[in-house]
């Protein structure tokens, strides 16, 4: 049986707590990945996160739904399923939304999904995340999260236009915003201030990725359009052959980020765990020890 706390929607938490803490996982691709995921989850569950999210990366739609349902029904965590639309038709999306709802999942993160350069989707029922937000809202009363991009979406021409798209997603039914990962709080705060000036008042949850591997984070920022501040990059490259030192630099930077964001009144911190626990565990414990 699904626990009552797990089926509750996410949005009420933002008025109940000073800030939320949440973790993101992805469906594993193989047995080794499965072991890593459940080991990380077992460790991070002790932190009593406000919610967890499950991406489409790894095993596709079915794996995402199954994992989200397991985290709710078996483990008792409030869970959110990532939902991408660009390669799906309306009939397929209707069935998918019904499956989520019937399995007790009440929270979704509505995303367009990735397109390969020069490749158009075979189906065109959903071109943008705005189309998905409207469709999901009309199908069931989900709590819908939407994505925000403090440094601008990689395919958007400028920040103002990107924020206009964000405002539209919220107007159509989005309840809160989770941002892409970022490493420069000044960029985030400028973006948040501009959003406020444009009338965007939804809770904003900051995406935090503790750096543990220099080559890995360089690949990520290339793909998602984020950037690494020069001073941080110099610190990382100076120790990139020393995993312990890299983890220490990443921990210090992420912890400083979180401290400032909390002081600035952020609605929540969303940790991209990469299905590992140590970095996130250490940062969240440090924040809670400082608050106690």
CATH numbers and ranges of domains, the chain: 4-287 (3.20.20.220)
CB 102 within 8 A of CB 75: no
Residue 87 CA to its chain's centroid (Å): 21
Q: Length of the chain, please?
A: 292
Q: 107-111 and 143-148 as β-strands: parallel, antiparallel, unpaired?
A: parallel
Q: How far apart are CA 98 and CA 136, in angstroms?
A: 10
Whether 210 contacts 251, CB under 8 Å:
yes
CA angle, 200 then 10 then 159, to 5°: 30
Using alpha carbons, list the distances in angstroms from residue 188 to 11, 120, 179, 192.
21, 31, 9, 6
d(CA 118, CA 16): 45
C-alpha 15/C-alpha 30 separation (Å) is 39
**Residue 54 contacts residue 82 (beta carbons within 8 Å):** yes
- Output the tens digit of pLDDT for each of the chain's 292 residues: 344 444 589 999 999 999 999 999 999 988 899 999 999 999 999 999 999 999 986 445 678 889 999 999 888 899 999 998 877 788 989 999 999 999 999 999 999 876 654 555 555 688 889 999 999 999 999 999 999 999 988 777 789 999 999 999 999 999 999 999 999 999 999 999 999 999 999 999 999 999 999 999 999 898 888 899 999 999 999 999 999 999 999 999 999 999 999 999 999 999 999 999 999 999 999 999 988 7
pLDDT at 156: 78
Q: Is 24 a catalytic residue?
A: yes
CA distance 232 to 249: 8
What token pair was written down for 139? 């199908």
Q: For 89, what's the count of Cα atoms within 13 Å in the CB-facing half-sphere? A: 4
* pLDDT of the residue at 3: 47
Q: How high is the pLDDT of residue 114?
A: 67
The predicted model scores a pTM of: 0.92
- Under 8 Å between Cβ of 93 and 135: yes
Q: Which of 24, 32, 34, 290 is catalytic?
A: 24
In whole angstroms, what is the distance from residue 141 CA to residue 119 CA?
A: 33
Tokens, residue 185: 């709080």
For residues 229 and 185, the answer to whether their CB atoms sit within 8 Å is no
């Amino acid at each position: 049986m699904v626990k009552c706390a797990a089926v509750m929607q996410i949005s009420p938490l933002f008025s109940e707590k000073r800030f939320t803490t949440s973790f993101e996982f992805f469906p594993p691709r193989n047995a080794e990945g499965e072991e890593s995921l459940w080991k990380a989850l077992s460790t991070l569950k002790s932190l009593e996160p406000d919610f967890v999210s499950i991406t489409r990366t790894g095993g596709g739609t079915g794996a995402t739904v199954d994992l989200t349902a397991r985290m709710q029904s078996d483990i008792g965590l409030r869970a959110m399923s990532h939902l991408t639309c660009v390669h799906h038709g309306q009939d397929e999306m209707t069935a998918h939304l019904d499956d989520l709802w019937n399995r007790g999942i009440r929270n979704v993160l509505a995303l367009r999904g990735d397109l390969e350069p020069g490749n158009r989707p075979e189906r065109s029922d959903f071109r943008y995340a705005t189309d998905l937000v409207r469709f999901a809202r009309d199908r069931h009363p989900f709590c819908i999260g939407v994505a925000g991009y403090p440094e601008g979406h990689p395919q958007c021409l400028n920040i103002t236009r990107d924020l206009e798209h964000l405002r539209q997603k919220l107007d159509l039914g989005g309840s809160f915003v989770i941002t892409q990962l970022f490493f420069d709080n000044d960029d985030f705060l400028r973006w948040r201030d501009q959003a406020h000036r444009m009338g965007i008042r939804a809770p904003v949850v900051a995406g935090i990725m503790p750096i543990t591997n220099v080559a890995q984070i360089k690949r990520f920022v290339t793909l998602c359009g984020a950037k690494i501040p020069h001073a941080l990059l110099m610190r990382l490259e100076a120790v990139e052959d020393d995993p312990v030192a890299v983890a220490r630099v990443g921990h210090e930077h992420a912890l400083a980020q979180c401290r400032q964001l909390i002081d600035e009144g952020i609605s929540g911190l969303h940790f991209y765990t990469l299905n590992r626990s140590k970095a996130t565990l250490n940062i969240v414990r440090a924040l809670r020890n400082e608050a106690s």
